[in-house]
Amino acid sequence: MKKNVILLSIIMIFNYQLFAQVKNGVTNESKIVYNGQVRAILENGETVEGQTSYSKISDDKLKVQVEGEKKVRKYKIKDVKEFTINDTLEFIKVKSTTSVKFVRPLVDRNNKLKVYALTYQSPISSGVDGNKLLFPTYREYWVLLPGKKKAVSVKDITLSVKKVANSISDCEDLSKKVLKKENGYKLSKLYSAEKLVEVYKKISEEYEGCN
């Protein structure tokens, strides 16, 4: 009886943790794997093409099966500059204030104000016997301001409205809209990351049209 009570308590705590994850913007989804033709540009300038199965669990590693080779090539994030899967899904290595990750550009990669999306998963065991896997899926959005070398999360407390406005001050009208928090340009930390990233995408595109 005592063991059953303990087991029930563990299950209740686990379910509460899962609820809290969803509530805080973390969702449980299927395992994310991108399969197909990959073209990778390495840090040494070499271009590698082949087949890949890129998992968002091991998102800092890239495996490439080159045609005619028996052994799969395995690259760490430090060795890869960028890669594209099936000619459409683009990943770029970007350094943030806390880490280095492969991220997807959400605006033209040549825009001066860059906006990125990061997705990753951390599998956990569930069920009474721990024989079921869940895949909590985390999504972050990064911004790289003009002239900066490291990206920051759109929710980062150091990313103030004034800092963003100053970074685009050579586009005076746009800078004023951001600073005055005009409708459609407000960067409130009370916004969700998803809402904030849409504002940053708008600012990025308008900034390109201004220069």
0.85 exceeded by the pTM?
A: no
* DSSP string for residues in 154-206: TT-TT--HHHHHHHTTTSHHHHHHHHTT-TTT---TTS-HHHHHHHHHHHHHH
Given a cut of 60, is residue 80 above it in pLDDT? yes
Q: pLDDT (tens digit, 9 = 90+) per residue, 87-116?
A: 999 999 999 998 999 999 999 999 999 999
Q: What is the pLDDT of residue 16?
A: 38
Domains of the chain (ranges; CATH) run: 2-30+88-210 (no CATH), 31-87 (2.30.30)
Q: pLDDT (tens digit, 9 = 90+) per residue, 184-195?
A: 999 999 999 999
Give first-to-last CA distance, the chain, whole Å. Answer: 72
Instruction: Enter the tokens of residue 108.
Output: 């033209």
Handedness of CA 31, 98, 103, 101 (dihedral sign): negative
